[in-house]
Amino acid sequence: MLERSSRGIDMNGETPMSAEAQRKTHLQSGESCATPGAGVVWYSGVLDLPQPFRLDCGAILADAHLAWQCVGPADAPLVVALGGISAHRRACSADGRGWWQQQCGAGKTLDTQRYRVLSVDWLGGSGESTGPGHGRDESNSAREAREFVSPQRAEDGEGWGQAPDVDFPAISTADQARAILALLNRLGVRRVHLLAGASYGGNVAQQLAALLGERLRRLVLLSAAHRPAQFGLALRHIQRSILDLGGDGTTALALARELAVLCYRTTEGVEQRFAGEPERGGVVGWLRHHGEAFSARFDTAAYRCLGRSLDSHAIDPATIRVPTSVFAVREDLTVPLSLLHDYVARAAGPCELVEISSPHGHDAFLKEAGAVSRVLAAALERATLETLP
């Protein structure tokens, strides 16, 4: 991988991206382009956020940073893609292992030969952005020393990383949105063609849409409401109790994730897939696989942090005026249809609801590729028509 500054790249209707405030920016090659001169470039970087970066909880994150990846032609319209709490900056990946690989890439709905697709690592998560367990190879003693400062001590100008006596602070969906807005501003983005958010990413997308205002052409929300559902609150309460009983160990994290994976699906979907299979290779083996894989790459404190961020999400749909498409799954336990009907009724701008039935429940935004693709394609087409004279 070549290291290269992104300074001096001209973008369609936008100022050039600058690397001044970034720790690193990488260019990754290897994806072909459909037309001569329309090369697809892979940029990634870590943005140092404005200081002080004050959170909704009143705390300050000292030396806070946000990791990102942007893929596509330098002059193409920008699409921001935000996923669930386990998602990361690689919505698409050159090795085919992006979290939204079904939708992102050359020739796909979010076509990286026609659009630039931007994604981030969440604040408070397990990626390269600032988080409680930043760097899986970091020692326990080093992690303990990298604490944040409480709102009271924040008044004295101290920030997280300077006060070793308090846990990592609460991160709100609005905090995430302000960080992404800082990134868009730093990259010189004047207009976002499409903002697509799924699950937790949809919560953050709502906050970001309100901040962007007329800078955003279209918004797509996939299984994401304006407030948490009671079932979701109960689920995450039980997950935290599992982590408490397990001393925040990897076994407890794996079990908490297994519970989430099960609740993201439907009873009929699980029955159809695993009926008649032995326990080891059936539903229990499937759950264990997902739990162990997740606990191997995710930090327990990060899981707590982002779970609480889901719990605290709240926004008035009347603050969002951009044309919006809302994708709903009737069988979704964690985001019930009634909440999304309420969102559509209260939204200030034009808002359509697309309902489907799926045995995949909440995971339909990942599993029902065709239905999701149609929603995204329609939004992209409308956004493009709006740019025509």
- How many other CB atoms are there within 10 angstroms of residue 113's CB atom? 19
How many angstroms separate the CA atoms of 241 and 20, rounded? 44
Is 309 catalytic? The answer is no
Residue from 86, 150, 199, 358 carrying the catalytic annotation: 199
Tell me how far apart the terminal alpha carbons of the chain are, to the nearest angstrom: 41
Max alpha carbon distance in the chain (Å)?
A: 63
Query: Facing residues of 230 across strands?
Result: none
Residue from 88, 226, 313, 362 carrying the catalytic annotation: 362
How many angstroms separate the CA atoms of 160 and 166, rounded? 9
Is 139 catalytic? The answer is no
How many angstroms separate the CA atoms of 233 and 30, rounded? 43
Backbone angles phi, psi at 50, to 5 degrees: -55, 140
Q: Collapsing DSSP states into helix, strand and coil, what is residue 114? A: coil
The alpha carbon of 31 is separated from its chain's Cα centroid by a whole number of angstroms, namely 24
Joined tokens for residue 344:
């559509």
Is 362 catalytic? The answer is yes
How many angstroms separate the CA atoms of 57 and 170, rounded? 6
Contact 154, 163 (CB under 8 A): no
Residue from 111, 121, 175, 332 carrying the catalytic annotation: 332
How many angstroms separate the CA atoms of 161 and 290, rounded? 33
Catalytic residues, which ones? 199, 332, 362
